Amino acid sequence: MDIKEDEIKEVTKLGNLNGDEVKLVTLKGGLHIGIGRKSEDSTKSAILAVGSHPALVSYQISKKYDQKFEQNLTKNEGEIIPEVIDFSTNLSPLNKNILGLDIYAVKTGNNIDFKITKHNFEIFSIQATQNEDVLSLDKTFKNEERLSNIDKNELSKSLEKTIKQFAKKNELKIKKKF
């Protein structure tokens, strides 16, 4: 991947892997890239993960490198580190294994983003808020171009199942605002 300096919005520390710093490169278009050394023996940095949200990049690195990755917990005072919940098991084998789709819930405080990614690029999301015992589904985002060859009916059922599982686990009623 060839990234030009004028495409970079910011570079921050994401954490440590094998004792070395992992950088989070945020591009102006919104893509996030985790860069670091894959092993202690590596002499060069490499792309460790790519995603539409820093929490997804961190989650992917943690999953891939097990306990060797330590997320940077020294965020700004009072800033909440997002929790990522993987609901990809709700997808059919075709959508998960062949088309490269995943479903995540990214929870930051009372805000929850239900994200569907295709090869780590966000293609659809629902923003929601949790207030007391209600999960309010606020608005959606979709990338029509990346959704073009996907069975939207099947994907909708998978996302609906995900939201219901999340609500049940957290004892919430669902309220749709859109």
| Amino acid occupying residue 133 | D
- pTM for the full model? 0.78
136-158 pLDDT, tens digit each? 999 999 988 888 888 889 999 99
* H-only helix segments in 2-118: 54-65, 93
21-66 pLDDT, tens digit each? 999 999 998 899 999 999 888 889 999 999 989 999 999 999 998 7
Q: Which residues of 78-97 are buried (b: 16+ CB within 10 A; e: fewer)?
A: eeeebebbebeebbeeebbe
Distance of alpha carbon 135 from alpha carbon 158, whole angstroms: 18
> Coil, helix or strand for 6?
helix
Radius of gyration of the chain (CA): 17
Q: 141: left (phi > 0), else alpha (psi -120 to 50), else beta?
A: beta
